[in-house]
């Protein structure tokens, strides 16, 4: 609606501002002020905490009631091996001006580690940078973390930038076109205005300051987002109309690949730039540094963008135009990546990077004798590792792209180094990894040609449940209990973000567990989105056993069938699989204890992906009706459970068939 008008007027306003304003820096005893005529950023010295942002007549966009250290800051959450977690707001001990001219100011706040700090500060040298450009309505920040060889071991649980905005100004939050709303005040979360629910992050609003929000649930995890979609989010102040936005132009420095979920903005009002966390993944995405290994990584730069009618080019009266303008600015930042202006050898510009291209094809002989284009495949480079290791990789950089409808892909601006090429294809189970190591050098342009992925397949599909897309979204997601509603997600495609859906399982299946009949049941209506525990009258929890009933006209004797079990999320779970005997001991298959995603409690629809390929001897099957029993055996809490992605039973090869003919069908 606004985009064409905004785009033209924005360019005009930016040009006028650029002509009239230089960037200046004013160093003081305890702080430094950077001003470009559009905004003024104040940082404590030498700590490097953002204590003030003056903009559009507002003396400070940050929460002035907070202590200065709790306004705009980098932080880490870490621990020594076997030790407790330590939260640390990163405070520099040395300040330096890296660049100062009329077009740009870049400043550095460093903290250097030494052995006397063992156990009190994370064993990293940290260099926090802030950049203000001429004519730019915002500022950039990035940081360089370095662990020298021989330094103590540690685990890094989380690192991010947090901004706490003024609660008397910023009341409207926007994450995407269909995820934005008036938010509660922070006081609404505290008793007696708020009622704590099953965990501290979730609160029911009993007597909120804004009565329109009464009865709703607030939980920061309801506003999580996958990395690939987490490009811009933030807040709007209506009087005067001002927006504050966090823009992340690249995912290369984030961990876990494009589908890793992270926090965005939430009640505070708070806005986060998340770089690394264990959310929706657990310890698998917590990097552990052992045996004194050296490590260096650059997080960012990210952009903190502020806008108003004056610099958005919008002359109307709708504050939501600021969201439209923020999206345009996000596209500008994405197109500008990698930035050319950071003054650090550790952040290479485009000329010091390389590119990889090729085409991915799929070969599944039971679907087609021809190659199948890997339509919309996710293709990426990550540190060398096992097949599928990219989703748990958390120390290096990753570079991802979507292939086109013909499977062609081109990944540009890759940092130099050694990588494997990974991929997964919507509609097919499993992961692809190119066998060879790909070495990126400055300016290289590597064409890999045609690559072929052969997904796991032993026989024809006898039946299937779901869609292989690494998500449980296609299954039945119930409406929430009416007392636990977030109105944003009523009639919303992300209804799985409602609080308390795990409790709805017992409401829907009060007298027994789920039974799914192949050919009769509909997975969109009859397969609950998560196999959760069941709460008993004594408030303990019990395991649940789901059944899949199916019919075989005949069983190929001495043959082996295959059950493909793709899991979208697991939380401290163990799945036991039995065929036609619910009491078989030991079970025919067990996953063992898997997963710490916590996606059920955190309103996700997936976490980390698991694929189990289970041999099914013909001796455990019968001609006629068969039943597979799926037992999630761990049952201490309501949040233990499994989300399925896709289940498929494949037929067995007939051992009496023509072996020569069979062999020629193999690729």
pLDDT tens, position by position, 163-200: 999 999 999 999 999 999 999 999 999 999 999 999 99
User: Side-chain half-sphere of 284: how many Cα atoms within 13 Å?
Assistant: 26
CA 491 to chain CA centroid, Å, is 23
Q: What is the DSSP letter of 489?
A: G
Q: Counting Cβ atoms within 10 Å, is residue 20 exposed (0-12), middle (13-18) or buried (19+)?
A: exposed
d(Cα 528, Cα 502) in Å, to the nearest integer? Answer: 10
In this prediction, residue 309 carries a pLDDT of 79
In this prediction, residue 311 carries a pLDDT of 56
In this prediction, residue 318 carries a pLDDT of 76
Q: What is the DSSP letter of 292?
A: T
In this prediction, residue 17 carries a pLDDT of 52
Specify whether the CB–CB gap between 599 and 608 falls below 8 A. no
Which secondary structure element, helix H or strand E, spans residue 4, and what is its range?
helix 3-20
The strand pair at 544-552 and 515-517 is best described as parallel
pTM: 0.93
d(Cα 430, Cα 470) in Å, to the nearest integer? Answer: 10
> In this structure, what token pair is assigned to residue 396?
């290096």
Beta bridge partners of 129: 108, 142
Q: Per-block average pLDDT, block size 10, for the chain (667 residues)?
A: 47 49 93 97 98 97 98 98 96 98 98 95 98 98 97 97 98 97 98 97 98 98 98 96 97 97 98 97 92 96 92 60 96 98 98 98 96 98 97 97 98 98 98 97 98 98 98 98 97 97 96 97 98 92 97 94 98 98 97 97 97 97 98 96 98 61 24
In this prediction, residue 505 carries a pLDDT of 97
In this prediction, residue 2 carries a pLDDT of 43
In this prediction, residue 182 carries a pLDDT of 97
The residue whose two tokens read 């309801």 is: 222
In this prediction, residue 656 carries a pLDDT of 59
Nearest to 577 by CA among 530, 622, 534, 614: 614
d(Cα 267, Cα 205) in Å, to the nearest integer? Answer: 12
d(Cα 262, Cα 564) in Å, to the nearest integer? Answer: 29
Q: What is the dihedral of CA 230, 232, 235, 238, to 10 degrees?
A: -140
Which secondary structure element, helix H or strand E, spans residue 372, and what is its range?
strand 372-373
What phi and psi values does residue 405 have, to the nearest 5 degrees? -65, -20
Q: What does the angle CA 408 – CA 411 – CA 413 come to, to the nearest 5 degrees?
A: 160
Q: Under DSSP, is residue 118 helix (H, G, I), strand (E, B) or coil? A: coil
Q: What is the DSSP letter of 618?
A: G
Torsion-angle region of residue 257: left (phi > 0), alpha (psi -120 to 50) or beta?
left
CA 645 to chain CA centroid, Å, is 17
Q: Under DSSP, is residue 512 helix (H, G, I), strand (E, B) or coil? A: coil
- Distance between the two ends of the chain, CA-based, in angstroms? 51
In this prediction, residue 14 carries a pLDDT of 53
In this prediction, residue 653 carries a pLDDT of 73
DSSP string, 433-482: E-SSPEEE-TT-EEEEEEEEE--S-SS-EEEEEE-SSS-STTSB-PPPPT
């Amino acid at each position: 609606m606004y985009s064409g008008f905004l785009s033209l007027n924005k360019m005009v306003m930016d040009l006028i501002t650029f002509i009239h304003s230089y960037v200046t820096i004013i160093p003081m005893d305890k702080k430094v002020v950077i001003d470009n005529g559009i905004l003024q950023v104040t940082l404590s010295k030498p700590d490097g905490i953002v204590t003030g942002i003056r903009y559009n007549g507002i003396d400070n966009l940050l929460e002035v009631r907070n202590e200065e250290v709790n306004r705009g800051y980098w932080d880490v959450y870490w621990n020594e091996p076997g030790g407790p977690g330590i939260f640390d707001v990163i405070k520099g001990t040395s300040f330096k001006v890296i660049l100062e001219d009329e077009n740009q100011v870049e400043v550095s706040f460093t903290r250097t580690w030494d052995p006397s700090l063992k156990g009190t500060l994370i064993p990293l040298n940290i260099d926090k940078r802030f950049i203000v450009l001429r004519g730019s309505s915002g500022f950039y920040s990035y940081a360089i973390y370095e662990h020298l060889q021989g330094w103590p071991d540690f685990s890094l649980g989380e690192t991010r930038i947090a901004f706490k905005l003024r609660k008397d100004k910023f009341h409207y939050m926007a994450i995407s076109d269909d995820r934005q709303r008036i938010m509660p005040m922070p006081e609404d979360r505290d008793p007696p205005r708020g009622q704590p629910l099953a965990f501290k992050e979730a609160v029911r609003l009993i007597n909120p300051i804004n009565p329109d929000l009464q009865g709703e649930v607030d939980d920061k995890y309801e506003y999580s987002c996958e990395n690939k979609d987490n490009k811009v989010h933030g807040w709007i102040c209506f009087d005067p109309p001002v927006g504050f936005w966090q823009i992340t132009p690249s995912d290369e420095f984030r961990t876990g690949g494009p589908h890793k979920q992270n926090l965005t903005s939430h009640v505070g009002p708070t806005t986060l730039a998340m770089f690394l966390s264990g959310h929706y993944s657990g310890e698998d995405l917590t990097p552990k540094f052992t045996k004194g290994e050296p490590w260096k990584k650059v997080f960012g730069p990210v952009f903190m963008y502020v806008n108003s009618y004056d610099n958005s080019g919008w002359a109307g009266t709708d504050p939501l135009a600021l969201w439209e303008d923020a999206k345009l600015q996000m596209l500008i930042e994405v197109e500008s990546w990698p930035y050319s202006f950071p003054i650090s050898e550790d952040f290479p510009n485009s000329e010091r990077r390389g590119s990889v291209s090729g085409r991915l094809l799929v070969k599944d002989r039971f679907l087609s004798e021809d190659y199948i284009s890997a339509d919309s495949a996710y293709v990426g480079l990550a540190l060398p590792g096992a097949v599928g290791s990219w989703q748990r990789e958390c120390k290096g950089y990753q570079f991802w792209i979507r292939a086109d409808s013909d499977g062609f892909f081109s990944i540009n601006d890759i940092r130099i180094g050694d990588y494997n090429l990974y991929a997964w294809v919507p509609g097919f189970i499993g992961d692809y990894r190119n066998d060879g190591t790909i070495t990126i050098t400055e300016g290289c342009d590597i064409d890999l040609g045609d690559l072929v992925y052969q997904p796991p397949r032993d026989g024809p599909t006898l039946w299937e449940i779901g869609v292989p897309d690494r998500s449980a979204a296609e299954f039945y997601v119930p409406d929430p209990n009416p007392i636990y509603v977030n109105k944003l997600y009523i009639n919303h495609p992300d209804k799985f973000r409602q609080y308390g859906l795990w409790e709805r399982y017992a409401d829907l299946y009060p007298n027994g567990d789920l039974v799914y009949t192949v050919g009769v049941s509909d997975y969109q209506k009859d397969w609950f989105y998560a196999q959760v525990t069941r709460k008993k009258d004594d408030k303990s929890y019990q395991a649940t056993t789901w059944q899949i009933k199916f019919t075989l006209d005949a069983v190929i004797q001495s043959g082996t069938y295959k059950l493909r079990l793709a899991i979208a999320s697991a939380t401290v779970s163990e799945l036991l699989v039995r065929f036609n005997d619910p009491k078989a001991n030991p079970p025919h298959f067990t996953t063992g204890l898997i997963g710490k995603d916590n996606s059920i409690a955190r309103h996700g629809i997936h976490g980390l992906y698991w694929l189990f390929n289970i041999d099914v001897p013909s001796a455990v099957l019968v001609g006629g009706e068969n039943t597979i029993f799926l037992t999630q055996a761990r049952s201490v809490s309501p949040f233990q459970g499994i989300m399925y992605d896709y289940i498929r039973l494949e037929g067995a090869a007939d051992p009496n068939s023509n072996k020569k003919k069979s062999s020629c069908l193999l690729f």
